[in-house]
Structure 1
Amino acid sequence: MNKSPRKSLRTNTVPKPGARRATTAVLLALSASAAALVVPGPAFARASPGATAAVPPIRWGACPEAEPPYPAPSPKAQCATVKVPLDWSKPKGPKVGIFVARYRATDPARRIGVLMSNPGGPGAPGSDDALYADDPVSGYTPAMLQRFDMIGFDPRGIGRSQNAECDESIADSAPTRPRNAVEFERMRILNGQLADSCLKRTGPLAAHMDGESVARDMDAIRAALGESRISFLGHSYGTFLGERYARLFPGRLRALALDSAMDPSRPDAERYLTDGSVTIDNTLKRLAAWCEKDAACALKGKGLLKGKDLTAVTDELFARADAGTLRDPGPNGPTRTKVDADKLSDFLTFALGKGSPEATAEQLAALYTGKGEVNWVPTGTDSASRLVLCRDYDFRIRDYAQYLAIRKRAAQAAPHVRYNAQSLDTVLGCQGWTMPPKPGPVQAKGDLPPVLVANATHDLATPLPGARRMANSFPKASLFTMDVVGHWLYRRGGTEKAMRAIDTYLTNPEGRPEN
Structure 2
Amino acid sequence: MNPSTPITRTNPRPVPAPGAEPGAEPASGGSPAAGRRALSVLLAVAASAALAAPVATAAPAGKSAPKPPGGASTPIVWGPCKGDPPMPDPGPQAECGTVQVPVDWSKPNGPRTGIAVARQKATDPAKRIGVLMVNPGGPGNSGVESAMYADNPIDGYSTRLRQRFDIVGFDPRGIGRSGSAVCDDAAFAKIPSRPRSAAEWEKVRTLNAQAIQSCRQGTGPLAAEMDSNSVVRDMDAIRAALGERKISYLGHSYGTFLGERYSRLFPKNLRTMVLDSAMDPAPSGAEQYLTDTAVTASKSLEKLSSSCAADPSCTAPGLPKGKKLTAVIDELFARADAGTLRKPGPNGPTRAKVTPDELTGLLNGLAGGGYPDQATEQLGALYSGKGEVRFHGDGPVNAAIPLVLCRDSDYRIRDWAEYRAIRERVAAAAPYVRYNDQALSFTLSCQGSPLPVEPRPAQAAGTLPPVLVVNAVYDLPTPLAGARRMAAAIPTATLHEVDTVGHVLYLMPAVKPVIDNHLIHRTR
Q: Bin the TM-score by the shorter chain.
A: 0.7 to 0.9
Partner of 2:253: 236
Q: Secondary structure of the equivalent of 1:497?
A: coil
Partner of 2:438: 422
Distance change >3 Å, CA 445–CA 53, structure 1 → 2: same
| Corresponding residue to 2:518 among 495, 498, 505 | 505
Shift of residue 499 of structure 1?
Answer: 1.1
Contact map agreement 2:94 2:147 (CA 8 A) in 1: yes
What code does the residue aligned with 1:259 have? D
Contact map agreement 2:318 2:381 (CA 8 A) in 1: no
Task: Output the CA distance in 1 between the equivalents of 2:211 and 2:375.
Answer: 35
Is 1:156 the equivalent of 2:169?
A: no
Task: Output the CA distance in 1 between the equivalents of 2:84 and 2:357.
Answer: 39
Moved more, 375-384 or 499-508: 375-384
Deviations 1:370-404 (A, max 9, x none): 11111122224211122100100100011111000
Shift of residue 283 of structure 1?
Answer: 0.2
Deviations 1:75-131 (A, max 9, x none): 200110000010011111100100000100011110000000100011011111210
Shift of residue 486 of structure 1?
Answer: 1.1
Moved more, 53-62 or 316-325: 53-62
Which structure 2 residue ranges, 5 or more long, are not aligned? Answer: 1-19, 25-34, 44-69
Task: Output the CA distance in 2 between the equivalents of 1:407 and 1:291.
Answer: 29
Distance change >3 Å, CA 414–CA 452, structure 1 → 2: same
What code does the residue aligned with 1:184 have? W
Shift of residue 296 of structure 1?
Answer: 4.5
Deviations 1:187-216 (A, max 9, x none): 111111000000000111111111111000
Partner of 1:20: 38
Partner of 2:362: 347
Task: Output the CA distance in 1 between the equivalents of 2:457 and 2:366.
Answer: 37
Partner of 2:32: none
Is 1:133 the equivalent of 2:150?
A: yes
> TM-score, normalised on structure 2?
0.86
| Corresponding residue to 2:373 among 335, 345, 358 | 358
Shift of residue 510 of structure 1?
Answer: 4.0
Partner of 1:496: 509
What code does the residue aligned with 2:295 have? V
> TM-score, normalised on structure 1?
0.88
| Corresponding residue to 1:412 among 415, 421, 428 | 428
Distance change >3 Å, CA 504–CA 202, structure 1 → 2: same
Contact map agreement 1:235 1:261 (CA 8 A) in 2: yes
Contact map agreement 1:331 1:371 (CA 8 A) in 2: yes
Partner of 1:27: none
Partner of 1:463: 479
* Aligned pairs for 1:440-455 within 5 A: 440-455=456-471
Task: Output the CA distance in 2 between the equivalents of 1:223 and 1:158.
Answer: 21
Relative contact order higher in (CA < 8 Å, ≥ 6 apart): 2
Shift of residue 20 of structure 1?
Answer: 1.1
| Corresponding residue to 2:190 among 165, 173, 184 | 173
Deviations 1:195-247 (A, max 9, x none): 00000001111111111110000000000000000000000000000001001
Shift of residue 334 of structure 1?
Answer: 1.1
Shift of residue 3 of structure 1?
Answer: 9.5
Distance change >3 Å, CA 156–CA 462, structure 1 → 2: same
Shift of residue 307 of structure 1?
Answer: 3.2
Cα RMSD (Å): 1.8
Contact map agreement 2:317 2:377 (CA 8 A) in 1: no
Is 1:433 the equivalent of 2:446?
A: no
Distance change >3 Å, CA 326–CA 4, structure 1 → 2: closer
Is 1:223 the equivalent of 2:240?
A: yes
Shift of residue 4 of structure 1?
Answer: 9.3
Partner of 2:131: 114
Partner of 2:113: 96
Task: Output the CA distance in 2 between the equivalents of 1:20 and 1:327.
Answer: 38
Is 1:385 the equivalent of 2:424?
A: no
Task: Output the CA distance in 2 between the equivalents of 1:434 and 1:327.
Answer: 41
Is 1:376 the equivalent of 2:374?
A: no
Contact map agreement 2:229 2:454 (CA 8 A) in 1: no
Shift of residue 266 of structure 1?
Answer: 2.7
What code does the residue aligned with 1:78 have? E
Contact map agreement 2:103 2:110 (CA 8 A) in 1: yes
Distance change >3 Å, CA 106–CA 166, structure 1 → 2: same
Shift of residue 439 of structure 1?
Answer: 1.3
Task: Output the CA distance in 1 between the equivalents of 2:374 and 2:349.
Answer: 19
Q: Secondary structure of the equivalent of 2:98?
A: strand
Contact map agreement 2:319 2:379 (CA 8 A) in 1: no
Deviations 1:282-326 (A, max 9, x none): 0000110121133443xx343733432111110000000000001
What code does the residue aligned with 1:469 have? R
* Aligned pairs for 1:219-368 within 5 A: 219-297=236-314, 300-302=315-317, 304-368=319-383
Contact map agreement 1:295 1:301 (CA 8 A) in 2: no
Q: Name the % identity.
A: 57
Moved more, 122-131 or 219-228: 122-131
* Aligned pairs for 1:41-60 within 5 A: 53-60=71-78
Task: Output the CA distance in 2 between the equivalents of 1:249 and 1:403.
Answer: 37
Task: Output the CA distance in 2 between the equivalents of 1:272 and 1:124.
Answer: 22
Task: Output the CA distance in 2 between the equivalents of 1:402 and 1:500.
Answer: 46
Which structure 1 residue ranges, 5 or more long, are not aligned? Answer: 7-16, 25-51
Task: Output the CA distance in 1 between the equivalents of 2:254 and 2:401.
Answer: 10
